[in-house]
A and B are shown apart, each in its own frame.
Chain A
Amino acid sequence: TAKTYGACASFSISLVANSSIDSPTMSVLSLAVVGKNNEPVFLKEFPKTEGRYVDDFAEEELFGLSFAIRSNEPCSVKHQFILQAALDRFEQVAGPPPGVGWRTPDVSGVDAMWVGMLLPVEEMRVYGYMSTTKIKFLAVVEDVIPPDQTAQNRKKESEIKNLLAQIHRLYVEYTLNPFNQIGDHKIVSKVFDVGVTNSVTEYNGKR
């Protein structure tokens, strides 16, 4: 009985420890859509207002990085830096030869367009997704799963893949509007904006 008690005790301890990681806050912090000539077509940040440490705030205020360049721009400078860095990595992985091929053979559809994690930055990770027409979708996601939790990591990646596929669908609907310019124009569309915000809020809300 002592042994079983001991086992139960350790089991319950590990349960307690896991429950805090069980529902980690892996919210999407920003999203970018980049055209085939690497011009930014859509940038949006989804700042988290709760759960931030006081230290984080102070450091960002110091360099003014948390502010958007202009008050009407939807994405802060810090995230734009991160996205630019991720884009370089994207080029490496998915660009013309000698680009390292990322595509696993014999996959099609959403799986074929999923590039995967591009780079880790501070406590965030950037994931990428590229359509067949070389339109790139990037998501900066908060990273709180330790790397040894492979099952959770894989689950998270597939959820992000689905989110980016959803954004891709919204982008396709945007291009179907005859009034919208495709190419190197920024996306100015309420329907697209609302759709993206809803998708991300739904994803974040599930955490």
Chain B
Amino acid sequence: MSKSTAATNGMALWQKMPKANAELFALTYGTLVTELLRDYETIAEINEQLDKMGYSIGVRCVDEFLAKADQANMLIAKCNNLAETAEVVAKTGFRMFLGIAVEIHATSESSFSLMMYENPLALFVELPDTQDKNWKDLKYSNLYCGILRGALEQVNLRVECKFVRDTLQGDDVNEIRVELKEVLQEGAGDDYQEE
């Protein structure tokens, strides 16, 4: 799948998707994170919870993505290598669901980096400066990592994602590092292990 096709597909799908108010979206996510802060003791637990939530979203997102693309008569060709997968995820996937442009950097055989210049989840957010918690460790947008993990697992790629740079922590860009751990053969989940 060529680069421009992925991008054009993404734009076209974005046009067809129903839209929601960006502020409402960001505020909802914000209250979710603050609730988690009240429920869990450590920042690490919160990051993990966000990842789990993202996972269950990602598992559902990928089906929607493929279904919508089918309806729009777009051919999402089978990706032959990780670089093509990265293209589709960044240019088509992120564009379709969030309307943002995501760039791919540092691709290799088994990993790639996604660079996001704008983050709709973190609109108006400023991390506090207090000493009671280790705010530097909070991965506010860890939901994305879970979504990527869940979605790619549905297409037989087991990956690990993590945020390496975050604009909320002072960096100039958001960077998610995705590493391919394993290509799953059967595509079956844990439930089917015994068989």
Residues of A near any B CB (own CB < 8 A)? 173, 176-180, 188-191
A178 and B125 contacting across the interface, CB-CB below 8 Å: yes
CA distance in complex: A191, B129 (Å): 12
- Decide if B31 touches A179 in the complex (CB within 8 Å): no
- Contact count band on B: 10 to 19
Pair count A-B, CB < 8 A: 32
Whether the Cβ atoms of B23 and A178 lie closer than 8 Å is no
Closest residue on chain A to residue B35 by CB atoms:
A178
Among A176, A179, A188, find the residue whose CB has the most chain B CB atoms closer than 10 A.
A179
List B residues at the A interface (Cβ < 8 Å): 23, 26-27, 29-31, 33-34, 123-129
Partner of A179, one of B23, B27, B126: B126
15 additional A-B pairs beyond A173-B124, A177-B126, A178-B125, beta carbons within 8 Å, are A176-B23, A176-B27, A176-B124, A177-B30, A177-B124, A178-B27, A178-B31, A178-B34, A179-B34, A179-B127, A179-B128, A180-B126, A180-B128, A190-B126, A191-B126
Quote the shortest CB–CB distance from A181 to chain B (angstroms).
10
Give chain A residues whose Cβ lies under 8 Å from the Cβ of B27: 176, 178
> What residues of B have a CB within 8 angstroms of the CB of A173 in the complex?
124
CB distance from B43 to the nearest CB of A (A): 13
B90 to chain A, nearest CB (A): 27
Q: What is the bound-complex CA distance between A173 and B26, given in angstroms?
A: 13
18 A-B residue pairs with Cβ-Cβ distance under 8 Å, sorted by A, are A176-B123, A176-B124, A177-B30, A177-B126, A178-B30, A178-B33, A178-B34, A178-B125, A179-B34, A179-B127, A179-B128, A180-B126, A180-B128, A188-B128, A189-B126, A190-B126, A190-B129, A191-B126
